[in-house]
Structure 1
Amino acid sequence: MEEKQPTSIICSNNIPLLIKPPENVSPATAVVIFSTLVAICGSFVFGSAVGFTSPTESGMISDLGLTLAQYSIFGSILTIGAMAGAIVSGKIADRFGRRGAMAFSEILCLAGFLAIVFAKVAWLLDTARLLIGVGIGILSYVVPVYVAEITPKNLRGGFTAAHQLMICCGVSTMWLIGTIIHWRVLALIGAVPCILQFLGLFFIPESPRWLANNSRWEDCEDVLKYLRGQNADTSVEAAEIREYTETLQHLSKAKLLDLFQREYTRSLIVGVGLMVFQQFGGVNGIAFYASSIFESAGFSGRVGTIAMVTVQVPMTVLGMLLMDKSGRRPLLMISATGTCLGCFLTGLSFLLQDLHMWTTEAPFLALVGVLVFTASFSLGMGGVPWVIMSEIFPINVKGLAGSLVTVVNWLGSWMISFAFNFLMSWSSPGTFFIFSVICGSTVVFVALLVPETKGRTLEEIQASMNPLTSR
């Protein structure tokens, strides 16, 4: 058998550290699986919050006498809260640990959902929705980071992609059961995963990388042994984490402007770029206004929405299973190509209707286009950017960089969801053709700049992308 070569990591004094990678891949232990399940309860909360407003609009407006403008504020203020949460997410996760950040988030989300259950006035609804937004803004960063930091390299992609799967499950659950139960009961159901995660956090370990970054070396080694199994040899992995972390700790404490230094340029471009392409490809415009898109195209909104749910979850599961087999880059490029095609078909449907051509077939073309977009997005563009974001930033800047990337994601979400109806009023075909061009550009961006991170430790990935030069 060919001997594995050691990995070279450049220190701050330009002397390479030689770290021999582990000989064997690690299995998914019960502790890793349980810890991941607890963490992604937060992802389900994320999805539940996003999906809550779609089926509850008519009921809440009727019961509370809200105007359409008041309900629009209630729905959109979630994104404002999420941006605020994203700004502080890295600081909280670095200061109080990954578990502490998740616990704080769930307290906010639980308070928000319970406030909706008992709310009778608009201002309390808005306050509750804002609290939930702050909570999911933090969760959107800390959940994939925690999962990436506890899982072995051969399983990291699939386990981290479970974050996106549970978001889809949360959205789909709200969409499906929200049409048959009262909105207050739906809000109470939304509180259940908040409680489950909060209680589960008492039974899972802290991230070994966070412990190492806080110089808790014995705790880091103990947690690694706990995660990998008592009979596993964790000495090599522990040594790699320790040596790389000690190298980073010789650098000055990172500030926001430090992210724009030359050594972090590629990571920042990749992390921010993927989030920009993810959001400006039109996903939230399509997800938030799916029913109206179908109805504008002359198709049943209810049938179309159910069809979206039907393809969304299975394709997300498929992407999760392929993550550590095909790699991140192929999934991203196939996914982006599919979203490009889906937007093109939807735009073509609207164009044909504007030209009064294929009037019978055009609505079905819109359905096919949206379903192709949804399936393709769920396969890769939904989850892979979050996986890569959790992998590419060194621990000394991960909090700041992760916050920035998450803020960009939520800002893009707000911009697209806000501008979508205006764009559709301007030109329905033009809107989807623009999205198609952006999705096509994503393929080029991934091919040129995004690295393949499959099968590499976090330290190997970060060292290759962020050469640490002397300061």
Structure 2
Amino acid sequence: MKSYVSTLRQVLATLTITLSVFMAGTFFGWPSPVTQMMKHSIIPPINMTSSQESWMVTAIEIGNLIFPLPAGFLMDTFGRRLCLMASGPLALAGWALVVFTKDVRCLYVARILHGCSMAIAFVISPVYVGEIAGNKIRGSLSVFFQGMNIMGLLLVYAVGWCSSYNTLALSMSVVPVLLTVSLFFIPESPYYLVMAGDKKGAAESLSWLRATDIAGVEEEVRVMSSSESNMSGSPKDLLKRSGKPLAIVLVVGTSLIFSGISVIEAYASTAFGDSSDFSITADACAVMLGVVAMLGVAFSATVVDRFGRRPVLLLSCTGLALSNLVSAYGLYHVHMEWLVLVALGATMFCGNAGLMPLATTILCEYFPTTDRALANGITQFVVTIASLLSLKIYQPVSDMYGMHANFLLFAADAAFSAIVVYMFVPETKGKSFEEIEMLFKKKKPKAVRNRAGKV
């Protein structure tokens, strides 16, 4: 019974913290239905050129570029939960600009504000989830990150399909309010509390999460304390102590961006918007892709803690390479929209069944607490630059060489990702943070008690 209650509480805490990622999904997917409104409305909500539209989509990454490193520093100073609360007001300010202004420059500012909010969510959420999760369910809980992101995308696709420009923005503004309120009802990360010197608070947090009394978590608090002693979190120490895992995470993260998933999420409707022969509307296709992506996340959640990270990652990367090749073939030839839809669906499924959620999983697993915030900030910063580049070049490459050229590049990147995973990514299923740290040091870890209190 205690085990069931403990799992339920960890799931509730994870759902609450990843509401921020759900919110980020609404930001990222918002351009897809909005660009269709601008193309097909008799009176467009905002008049934009193709270049301005490209910058509107991309501007979110400017905010996402500004905030990762400050967010990493602030969450180690003020705590994970308190810093995440700051993402709500930033999001509301952005939606207010969308609703009450109709100038494209104000829209750029709104997207930048949403990017700042998204950066906070992407830096803090995976760290919190990794730090509150038990070893046996950490992989499954970390998949919530991508699941909530896809649910946010799916919501904005569906609401945008059947509503107006202002109604869409007003509907999405409910999410940051819900996030800010719900954060008051979950505990702070026990790892942060230990790092801040509050062992009593850490024990109380763990006691709630593990559904046991204080005495039942004393050993886990002791292990946390010993793992953080005599460690500093400077960039020099990060490179010295965690250089190899940081390199793996950066390569996997940037490879993920150039595998095409983020571009498909942002431009989901436009892949079909110009075809008059396709019987399903572009927005309907976007919703279908969102549903398929959600199925991929559900698949990942059921297999990642059973079969391990490496097999799932390898299958995901291989599937991405093949599906992107099929998309390129279908886009190169005319009247093959159904093939393109199926291939894009396969891409969304394969990416969300492995590479997307597990990139977050390894990010929260590979670093000790003192390095986690800085490593996550650096990773988000680098990945954002990659995302900014991929989003910005997508339209020019499509205009110059055809949309299929992008998907050929995506296929090559996915094949490269499979090679990286096979050669460098270790298996971390069921391992404690200390065991994973020793895995990179190639030392046999000492026997320690796990989070259930067993040796």
Q: Is the 8 A contact 1:25 1:154 kept in 2?
A: no
C-alpha deviation, 1:399, in angstroms? 1.6
Per-residue CA deviation, residues 172-198 of structure 1 (Å, 9 max, x unaligned), is 111111121122221122121211111
Q: Is the 8 A contact 1:347 1:429 kept in 2?
A: yes
Seen in structure 2, the aligned counterparts of structure 1 residues 467 and 206 have a Cα distance that, compared at 3 Å, is: farther
Alignment of 1:160-179 (within 5 A): 160-179=142-161
Q: Secondary structure at the match of 1:290?
A: coil
Per-residue CA deviation, residues 155-183 of structure 1 (Å, 9 max, x unaligned), is 11111111110110111111111121122
Q: How many residues align?
A: 433
C-alpha deviation, 1:428, in angstroms? 4.2
Would you say 1:406 and 2:389 are equivalent positions?
no
2:196 aligns with: 214
Seen in structure 2, the aligned counterparts of structure 1 residues 164 and 412 have a Cα distance that, compared at 3 Å, is: same
2:168 aligns with: 186
2:446 aligns with: none
Moved more, 45-54 or 25-34: 25-34
Moved more, 411-420 or 284-293: 284-293
Q: Is the 8 A contact 1:40 1:162 kept in 2?
A: yes
Instruction: For 1:293 and 1:26, locate their aligned partners in 2 and report how far apart those are by CA, in whole Å.
Output: 44
Instruction: For 1:117 and 1:431, locate their aligned partners in 2 and report how far apart those are by CA, in whole Å.
Output: 33
Q: Secondary structure at the match of 1:291?
A: coil
2:416 aligns with: 441
Would you say 1:200 and 2:178 are equivalent positions?
no
Instruction: For 1:278 and 1:222, locate their aligned partners in 2 and report how far apart those are by CA, in whole Å.
Output: 38
2:21 aligns with: 43
Q: Is the 8 A contact 2:46 2:104 kept in 1?
A: no
Q: Is the 8 A contact 2:36 2:273 kept in 1?
A: no
Alignment of 1:4-403 (within 5 A): 28-57=6-35, 59=37, 62=43, 64-68=45-49, 69-231=51-213, 233-246=216-229, 250-251=230-231, 253-261=232-240, 263-294=241-272, 299=278, 301-351=282-332, 353=333, 362-403=336-377
Seen in structure 2, the aligned counterparts of structure 1 residues 200 and 374 have a Cα distance that, compared at 3 Å, is: same
Q: So what's the TM-score if we normalise by structure 2? A: 0.88
Q: Is the 8 A contact 2:32 2:270 kept in 1?
A: no
Q: Is the 8 A contact 1:241 1:459 kept in 2?
A: no
Instruction: For 1:99 and 1:127, locate their aligned partners in 2 and report how far apart those are by CA, in whole Å.
Output: 26
Instruction: For 1:310 and 1:218, locate their aligned partners in 2 and report how far apart those are by CA, in whole Å.
Output: 44
Q: Is the 8 A contact 2:25 2:153 kept in 1?
A: yes
The aligned amino acid for 1:399 is: A
Q: Is the 8 A contact 1:82 1:137 kept in 2?
A: yes
Q: Is the 8 A contact 1:64 1:121 kept in 2?
A: no
The aligned amino acid for 1:54 is: S
C-alpha deviation, 1:317, in angstroms? 1.4
In structure 1, runs of 5+ residues without a counterpart are: 1-23, 354-358
Per-residue CA deviation, residues 236-295 of structure 1 (Å, 9 max, x unaligned), is 32221111111xxx24x433344333x322111111011011011122233323333335
In structure 2, runs of 5+ residues without a counterpart are: 444-455
1:453 aligns with: 428
Instruction: For 1:135 and 1:459, locate their aligned partners in 2 and report how far apart those are by CA, in whole Å.
Output: 32
1:6 aligns with: none
Q: So what's the TM-score if we normalise by structure 1? A: 0.86
